[in-house]
Amino acid sequence: MKRLLAFAVAASISVTSVADEDQVEYRQEVMSAIGGTMGAIGKILKQEVDRPGDIAPLAAALDELADTAQRVFPEGSDGGDALPEIWEEPEDFAERLTVLKEATSKFRTAASSGDMAQIGPAVGEVGRACRGCHQRFRE
């Protein structure tokens, strides 16, 4: 009986930790997609590649990913470079996700207008939303 119990406990612990690891990896994959999308947009804006027509679809992708980002920090998914403050100060953290979403939504609108005078400042605002959260909540 004791052995059975010990096995059950060990099995449940290992299942939990595997699940958490997957959550962290999933979050990092989503964040990498966001980072890659921003990186591609940066290359266009710095005119390292001549792909102005890609800005609008990339901005739309970023705006969609900002929705996904809202769901990758569930309770109990601490790990990776995510600081525990995320779950200790959930309101502050949620506010930063909202700031990101507002910025990507504005950028998406600016990008679809094709007006560079709007696109530059809008992408700058997205970058500030990234940095603001990273400085506070990422190791």
> Using CB under 6 A as the criterion, which residues of the chain lie in contact with ligand HEC when the complex forms?
24, 27-28, 31-32, 34-35, 38, 80-82, 93, 96-97, 100, 126, 129-130, 133-134, 137-138
Residue 45: CB minimum distance to ligand HEC, A: 14
Beta strands in 17-107 (DSSP E): none
User: CB-wise, 8 or 29, nearer to ligand HEC?
Assistant: 29
Tokens (6 digits) for 24: 């962290």
- Backbone torsion region of residue 114, taken as left when φ is above 0, otherwise alpha when ψ lies between -120 and 50, otherwise beta: left
Cβ-Cβ contacts under 8 Å for 101 (sequence gap 6 or more): 63, 66, 67, 70
Distances from the Cα of 130 to the Cαs of 74, 114, 120, in angstroms?
19, 23, 16
Residue among 96, 73, 86, 94 at smallest CA distance from 23: 73
CB of 48 to ligand HEC, least distance (A): 17
Q: Which is nearer to ligand HEC, 60 or 96 (CB)?
A: 96
In this complex, which beta carbon is closest to ligand HEC, that of residue 12 or of residue 98? 98
Nearer to ligand HEC, 101 or 118 (CB): 101
